Amino acid sequence: MSVTQRPWWKDGVVYQIYPASFKDSNGDGIGDLNGIISELDYIRSIGVDVVWICPMYDSPQVDMGYDIRDYEDVYAPYGTVQDMERLIAETHSRGMKIILDLVINHTSDQHKWFLESRSAKDNPKRDWYIWRPARYVNGERKPPNNWVSNFTGSVWEWDEHTQEYYLHLFCPEQPDLNWENAETRQAIYKSAMEFWLERGVDGFRVDTVNMYSKGEMLDAPVTDPGSEWQFAGFQYCNGPRMKEFLAEMNQVLEKYDAMTVGECPNTPDMKRVLEYVSAKEKQLDMVFQFDVVDVGQGPYKFQTTPKNWTLPHLKRAIARTQHLIRTPSDGWTTVFLENHDQARSITRFTSDAPEHRVAGGKMLALLMAALSGTLFIYQGQEIGLVNFPETWDMSEYKDVDSSNYYKMVGARTGGDEEKLAEAKRALQHLARDHARVPMSWSTAPHNGFSPPDSTAMPWMRPLDDAATCNVAQQQSDKSSVLAFWKRILQVRKAHNDLLVHGQYDDLDVEDPEIFVFSKTWMGKRALCVCNFTDRAKTLEVPEQVRGEKMELLVSSVEGGVDGELAAYEGRIYLLA
Ligand code: NOJ
């Protein structure tokens, strides 16, 4: 593709906002749309082009807004549809785009469609959700299959009133919509998509995009013998009608020139991923693969120990996402290390020890900025926020995923204290809660998240370390993580051919301490090298580039030493 034909979303840097935890303008302890509007200049100042707002729709908040009661309304504590219209206009007036979360695999059980659907078997909307009769085993009522939900337990919920089960791949309060029904699909497009496209949004991050077509829903193989419920992600993801559904959805999106980035779990098959993102297939513009953020996770979420990964694991995962765009691919890829479902990347991939966290944050920023694809930053990542500490009690974990897991371990082990301590250690490392704490804006009360005179406590405990890590301080500190993000995004923009679009080649996959790769674009080349250890290391020039002239473009450490990388230092060189 010629440079002039590049769509805006390829070079754009996206900043993800979690409304509940970004900024509380009215002192009720919950972030809101006016809070977001008040910080748009800050977001712009980082070098961001696109703002992504996590679900701000009307919702009972069982899964933090991923359970939508009304697509056409806003969760009252966040604001109103008029506030959204203002947010859209204010974002555009600063030259940025805005995208929303599109959650259309399921609704809330309080959505009027589901209330109708569950009211009677002959209700016209009965078939808008997935209802099945029970199966009886030795006279005992059992769900239609053995699938485990993403949040533990069966995916089926018994409905006393109509004597059938309904499917929910997530919480029971998140019933799955029946995409097989054409009328349902049209209603989804109209209510969830067109309502907001008409109001000017520029695209969507599409939640669990590959789960709409469930296939035959046969029993999953037993991979967890201790449980009645089994992992079925490979069955309900990427089902037989996905292509057709996405093509249909695209007819709506195309009218508005809207971009899409689809969340694509359980898809290790790169051929399948490429089908989703290939330009000529017209399915999705890009996807979030799970390869990188799953590094160090166990076979079952949280069944692992902290830092249970090696650098070659991480490199291989990154390579898979980078190779998606290797010639002759006509696809596109994404770069991200954090989002609202992931713990903080400094803690996971470098070190959150006080003496290393700044270096770790800057090195990861440099690494990300050197990778090809659309770059996504999650709120707080730009100042180097880290996980909250082990000393925090289980009651500080508010996420349904974390608390269900902890409860499940308790139930399965008869409350074994050692197993519960192990589960808490895993959560301290990997829980989604770490991304969901209030943003640390300053050292003011509530870390500046809520107004100083606010009496309501923030909905989650603010971090204890705001004195050493907050936006206000970093804005005036040239050596801060924030200052480095600003700088590295400028470097990325100035060298976008190489850094955003270039071909990625890992130059030493097996090195467990140094990550070194090259980027190539039409005869231009760059070398990126990152020291993933907490010690200085000799800078070994990889043999593939030995003899070439290396001009230092940027380092994540000031006053770096020739021939040596400091602990957690990253560098980009231009080669000639
Ligand atoms: C993925 C979202 O990112 C996550 O937060 C949510 O819990 C599930 N999908 C269900 O919508």
CATH code assigned at 528: 2.60.40.1180
Residue 1 reports pLDDT greater than 60: no
Q: Is 149 in the pocket of ligand 1 (CB under 6 A)?
A: no
The answer to whether residue 489 sits within a structural domain is no
Quick check: is 299 in a domain? yes
Ligand 1 pocket, residue 382 CB under 6 Å: no
Tell which one of 68, 341, 432, 433 to mutate to probe ligand 1, the residue whose CB is within 8 A of the most ligand atoms. 341
Each residue's pLDDT tens digit, 226-238? 999 999 999 999 9
Amino acid sitting at position 135:
R
Residue 207 alpha carbon to ligand 1 centre in Å: 6
The answer to whether the CB of 66 is under 6 A from ligand 1 is yes
Residue 373 lies in a domain: yes
Per the annotation, the verdict on 207 as an active-site residue is yes
Domain that holds residue 541: 503-575
Measuring from atom 6 of ligand 1, which residue has the nearest CA?
66
Among residues 58, 207, 382, 399, the one annotated as catalytic is 207
| Same structural domain, 234 and 288 | yes
Closest residue CA from atom 2 of ligand 1? 207
DSSP assignment of 438-457: PP---SSGGGGSS-TT--SP
Residue 325 counted as domain residue: yes
pLDDT tens readout for residues 491-504: 999 999 999 999 99
Domain boundary at 123, 140, 167, which? 167
Q: What is the mean pLDDT of residues 361-386?
A: 98
Contact call for residues 515 and 529 (beta carbons, < 8 A): yes
Are both 425 and 436 inside the same structural domain? Answer: no
Counted domains in the chain: 4
Exposure string over 398-413, b if 16+ CB within 10 A, otherwise e? bbbbbbbbbebbeeee
**3 found inside a domain:** no
392-416 residue pLDDT tens: 999 999 999 999 999 999 999 999 9
Find the CATH number of the domain harbouring 77: 3.20.20.80
Residues 445 and 513 placed together within one structural domain of the fold: no
Residue 100's DSSP bridge partners are 53, 204
Q: In which band, very low, low, confident or very high, does the pLDDT at 473 lie, cut at 50, 70 and 90? A: very high
Residues 296 and 367 in one domain: yes
Nearest 5°: phi and psi at 117? -60, -40
> Ligand 1: distance of its center to the CA of 573 in Å?
38
**Which pLDDT score, from 0 to 100, does residue 67 have?**
98
The catalytically annotated residue of 263, 338, 399, 506 is: 263
Q: Is 43 domain-assigned?
A: yes
Q: Is 422 left (phi over 0), alpha (psi -120 to 50) or beta?
A: alpha
Give the pLDDT mean for 450-460: 96
338 and 383 together in one domain: yes
Cα dihedral 245, 250, 251, 253, rounded to 10, equals: 140
pLDDT band at 128 (very low <50, low <70, confident <90, very high): very high
Q: Which helix (H) or strand (E) holds 571?
A: strand 570-575
Residue 131 within a domain: yes
pLDDT at residue 298 in the model: 85
509-539 pLDDT per residue, tens: 999 999 999 999 999 999 999 999 999 999 9
Q: CATH number, domain at 146? A: 3.90.400.10
The whole-number pLDDT of residue 375 equals 98
Q: Are residues 189 and 228 in the same domain?
A: yes
Question: Which of 52, 151, 170, when mutated, tests ligand 1's pocket best, judged by the most ligand atoms within 8 Å of its CB?
Answer: 170
Q: Quote the DSSP letter at residue 194.
A: I
Determine the number of helices (DSSP H) and then strands (DSSP E) in the chain. Answer: 19, 22
pLDDT of 2 reads 54
Is 228 a catalytic site residue?
no
Residues 532 and 418 placed together within one structural domain of the fold: no
**pLDDT at position 299:** 79
Q: Using one digit for the tens of pLDDT, what is the confidence trace for 266-311?
A: 999 999 999 999 999 999 999 999 999 999 998 777 999 999 999 9
User: For residue 301, what pLDDT is reported?
Assistant: 79
Asked if 335 and 475 sit in the same domain, the reply is: yes
For ligand 1, atom 10, the nearest C-alpha belongs to: 66
Same domain? For 513 and 554 the reply is yes
Q: Which among 131, 518, 360 has a CA at the least distance from the CA of 123?
A: 131
Q: Is 136 helix (H, G, I), strand (E, B) or coil?
A: strand
The residues that bridge with 165 in the sheet, in sequence order, are 132, 158
Q: Across the chain, what does the average pLDDT equal?
A: 97
pLDDT at 3: 57
Q: Are residues 423 and 543 in the same domain?
A: no
Q: Give the residue-averaged pLDDT of 85-98.
A: 98
Q: What is the per-residue pLDDT across 136-185, written as a single tens digit (0 to 9) for each? A: 999 999 999 999 999 999 999 999 999 999 999 999 999 999 999 999 99
User: Same domain, yes or no, for 152 and 281?
Assistant: no
* Greatest pairwise CA separation for the chain in angstroms: 77
Ligand 1 neighbourhood includes 101 CB (under 6 angstroms) = no
> Has residue 14 been placed in a domain?
yes
User: Residue 493's pLDDT is what?
Assistant: 98
Helix (H, G, I), strand (E, B) or coil at 176: strand
Are 134 and 98 in a shared domain?
A: no
